[in-house]
Amino acid sequence: MKSCKHESWLSLHGEEKFLLHCASTLNDIITGLDKPASKSPSLVVMLGSAAKGTLLTDAFPYSRTCVSSEASHGVTLQLDSATAFSDHPILIAHEDISRRSTALAEPAAAPCHRQTVRGLQWEAGSLTEAFDSLHSRLIRPFTDVVCFFSTGTRDVRHQVERMLPWLEQTRDRESSTTAHPRLLFVASSTEKRSEAAVKSHLVELLRTRSKQNKFDSFSHLSVYVKHTSTQTLTDRIKREVDASRNERVRSRTLLNAVHFDILFRQACDHFVSNEQVPFDMIAASRSHRPVSTHLHTYLSVLFDSVDNMEEIIEFAIPFAAGCFVVDNYAYDVPFFNPLQVFTTHYKSYIDAYGNKVLKPSRHGGNLVLLLRSQLVALTEQHFVERSKMLCPNPRTRLLADFQPWLATRKLYKVCLACMQADPQHKLTCGHVVCEKCFIDMGNSPATDPYLYTLNCCPFCSQISEVTVRVKPATAGLRVLSIDGGGIRAAIPIQFLCALENAIGLDIPIQEHFDLAYGTSSGGLVVLALYGLGMRVDESFHLFSQLAARIFRGRSYFGLGIFTALYALVTSWRHGRFPSSDIEGALAELFGEATMLDLQYVSSIGARVGLPVVDADTLDTCLVTSYNGSTSRYNDQEYANISTYRLLRSDDATSEIRIKDAARCTSAAPWYFTPNKIPGLGTFMDGGLSDNNPCMLAVQELHKIAPELRRADHFVSVGTGISTTRKVAKTGFYPSLLFGNSSLQQTAEHYWSENFNGDKRFALMRQIMAASLPGGIASTKKWLHRFNLPVEGELPNLDDFSAIGSLAEAASSYFTADPAVRDLADAALALTFYFELQPGRMPIYERGSYTCYGTIRCRIPGLSPAFCQLMQKLDCLEATFQIQMQVYDAKEKISRWLDRHGNFGKPVCLRVPSFDDELDIRLRLHKDRIHHISASPMTFRTLIDLQMLEWSALKDMHATPRTTSKKRRRDDSPLQPAKRHCSGMP
């Protein structure tokens, strides 16, 4: 623990408008403690003058330097060195109140502490009133003992004025988590009366001066008179501290050091912005992880799954209450009073559910009414009872207790493992869970720490070998968008083939993209790559065979106008091509598998989406492999401006089959009839509204990862564009119907505008440029549009005979395109990401932060592609450029391996502020430079994504199972000379 002579902590300055100066003294003290999560500090506030006649300098012998310092102003803070290594360290805050009226210059920031300055957003009558409010509203909730030091008989009334703000915080105004600090009046050294007499005099003065008729109790007020006491002042203060600590234990307001520090910083924000509303610790404790705003929906899904009073009482209510307990009392939240926690976080959601009519039992009978008040009372009761049953793994115990009920319930609109998120991953038995719960209950090997396996279902205990790869917390997302275009989808296939060859790794090209969206035939390409797990060249052969099969056309008999008329009517009513052809092909490929059965997608950590159009409402809809939006918290702002709605299943009986989704997204009007998805409606080709699905992909990106400003790279691939600006023929029948009328011109305009993917992409680029710093120039680095220019007219959407020529032209064009090679270099760079050292916050010293971290690779060391990547980078003389400086230029990149064989290059750097951006790039041949994943990113964002402020708490609460599956703190890379990648020269 490093010592520091700068104890300045809080001070107020100004005349009409006051500024709060807050130094990082508290945070630095807490950080310096050994295992702060296991410590429970006590705060002692000493108010008085260091003038002659007070006992202020006798309170804590080790604090004399701070107290007697003439340079001190405002509130100072220091750690009592006698208790520094105990489980209950004492923090000593002191203010010399005699200096409040002095015009003091604003303090200069000490090099060993950070300092923030904020103006009070409320009116304070004077500096004295502002300081009184600082103590009573900001410091008071964290204080165990406050000492008032008197200089003599004449000073008693002044001390009473100082006490009033500490006492006049009634129970109905202040937060329920605020414990009453103990007030200790320290009489002057010349006082001869007994402590009882002095207290009686104080109480009389307090009753006279109080604005209230009476106080609840003066039991928290005591007096120390040195002349009559048998204890030293230090021992007396410690006795008061012990009493206050016991009271906090009984009221469940005792905080460990980490929570103490975090909540105090939040209290500072609250103090600056609000004068009237008391600081609520319970609400603030969940500010970083708020209760889901969709909880009322999840409760409705749960309660609607039962229809009788028996199951509501025995299952739904106690299970919901148990989920609330697991959700709230995680490692990162203090154990506050359960009754108050329920009232603050959950009661309003239960109350909003309303009354419910039920059968008395599962066997029927007369209907009964469960009143809203009964529902709230029962849930509250079970919440309090379940809070007493907390164990090292409360979720596992909760699911085991309710397994008989959970085993038969397969709800797809709520994760039954937490009741806080939409489920995303389907297990073999049919149950579904959200990604966070999958991670918490799954296991991952040290050799591949982001590949999780769940061996058995937590709801029914059936064997369920399901594997899910998750994105590292500090990595970004790579997005692929493919236009629709019938047989012209051969063009994006050839683009992907050229890109895979340019990257040069034995990894399917789809594994270089985390999100993939495709419309119409583009959607079929996405399903071939992600749904069937095909390599890109295999998908081309499949696509060619599929096109020849589904675009065969109908057989008509006879000659003349009647045959043509019959063909026209048949095409108008049933499509130009028989639905049976495409439906039969899709059934052979996908069978009865559903969109949540795409195990390959989960195993590579990807998500796919297919746009469709509701045939009845003409709304744009999205079918996904992840059961809709994965936004964890408040995404109402996205819902209000969303241009589409998500199609989701209610339960296992209404899952969306892959063949239905593929059939709908390719049901182009005139070519195929709309298709019905059971339970959801009838849908058509998504190209009617979003032939280029890039705008849908952007919206989903922000829902999935709202913390990311943009994608790592966003690749949009078109299906050809005519250099003469002509579109494909729409066929004989529309011309016969419309002729050269304005209706035909309107149809042609719609066709040219809606199906011009380049124009849609340009619009998206303009929107993104307006919302990001750097404008259009910055978007060119990560927004990419690829398309094949074709001379003359593009082939018809159903002209499968043109697939070969289109593919040949596209292959030649993209293979020679330097932009494809540049994108391949970027893809190599994006396999790397940076993370700060787990469990270690950056250290502030001498005016800047020292940050330790590691550059890691998405590709695990056990993958054959990893050695290929290392060899390729060594041949390209790859180096990392950190903050515009090249590091270890002479070292081969393949030599940085950790003890598990994974890539790990240690990085240490100093930055003046967490708001600074970390900029890391990969240099190839010294002139081809690309950012690694999620770079640039501010250090504050990195800290938030890794939840480093709570990491000490997580280490304290980690079970052996959890510890074994996480990367240990000593997983630092070995020295270059100690380890080599197998196969390296």
Whole-number Å distance between alpha carbons of 523 and 503:
24
Rounded to 5 degrees, φ, ψ at 110 are -75, 145
Bridge-based pairing of strands 515-518 and 607-614 is: parallel
* Sequence-ordered alpha helix ranges (H) in 505-560: 521-526, 536-550
Element (H, E) at 347: helix 347-353
Q: What is residue 852's three-state secondary structure?
A: strand
Bridge-based pairing of strands 432-433 and 920-924 is: unpaired
Question: Is 537 marked active-site?
Answer: no
Q: What is residue 647's three-state secondary structure?
A: strand
- The residues facing 804 across adjacent strands are none
User: Measured between alpha carbons, how far is residue 506 from residues 67, 659, 856 in Å?
Assistant: 68, 29, 19
- Among candidate residues 972, 960, 879, 888, the one with its CA nearest the CA of residue 920: 879
Q: Tally DSSP H helices, then E strands, for the chain.
A: 37, 36
Four-residue CA torsion sign, 278, 281, 286, 292? negative
CB crowding 697-720: b at 16 or more within 10 Å, else e: bbbbbbbbbeebbbbbbbbbbbbb
- Among candidate residues 668, 715, 765, 781, the one with its CA nearest the CA of residue 526: 715
- The residues facing 119 across adjacent strands are 19
Whole-number Å distance between alpha carbons of 120 and 165:
19
Determine the length of the chain.
985
Q: Are 609 and 704 in contact (CB under 8 A)?
A: no
Question: Is 539 marked active-site?
Answer: no
Name the active-site residue from 155, 422, 597, 685: 685
* Residues 43, 47, 49: CA angle, nearest 5 degrees: 140
Q: At what angle do helices 818-829 and 864-875 cross, to 10 degrees?
A: 120
Whole-number Å distance between alpha carbons of 979 and 858:
19
- Among candidate residues 767, 654, 785, 648, the one with its CA nearest the CA of residue 702: 767
User: Measured between alpha carbons, how far is residue 658 from residues 58, 417, 516, 596 in Å?
Assistant: 78, 26, 15, 9
Whole-number Å distance between alpha carbons of 283 and 422:
23
* Sequence-ordered alpha helix ranges (H) in 876-972: 939-946, 951-957, 960-965
- The residues facing 856 across adjacent strands are 833, 904
Name the active-site residue from 520, 629, 689, 863: 520
Torsion of CA 627, 629, 634, 640, to 10 degrees: -120
Q: Are 700 and 515 in contact (CB under 8 A)?
A: yes
Q: Which two tokens stand for residue 552?
A: 């065969």
Four-residue CA torsion sign, 241, 243, 244, 246? positive
If you ran DSSP here, which 8-state letter would residue 968 be given? Answer: P
- Among candidate residues 168, 167, 139, the one with its CA nearest the CA of residue 263: 139
Whole-number Å distance between alpha carbons of 586 and 595:
13
Write down the residue that tokens 């708001």 correspond to: 915
If you ran DSSP here, which 8-state letter would residue 770 be given? Answer: H
Write down the residue that tokens 């009839």 correspond to: 673
Task: Count Cβ atoms within 10 A of the Cβ of residue 64 and give its class: 0-12 exposed, 13-18 middle, 19 or more buried.
Answer: middle
The DSSP secondary structure of 672-706, one letter per residue, reads: S--EEETTTEEEEETHHHHSSTHHHHHHHHHHH-T
Residues with a known catalytic role: 520, 685
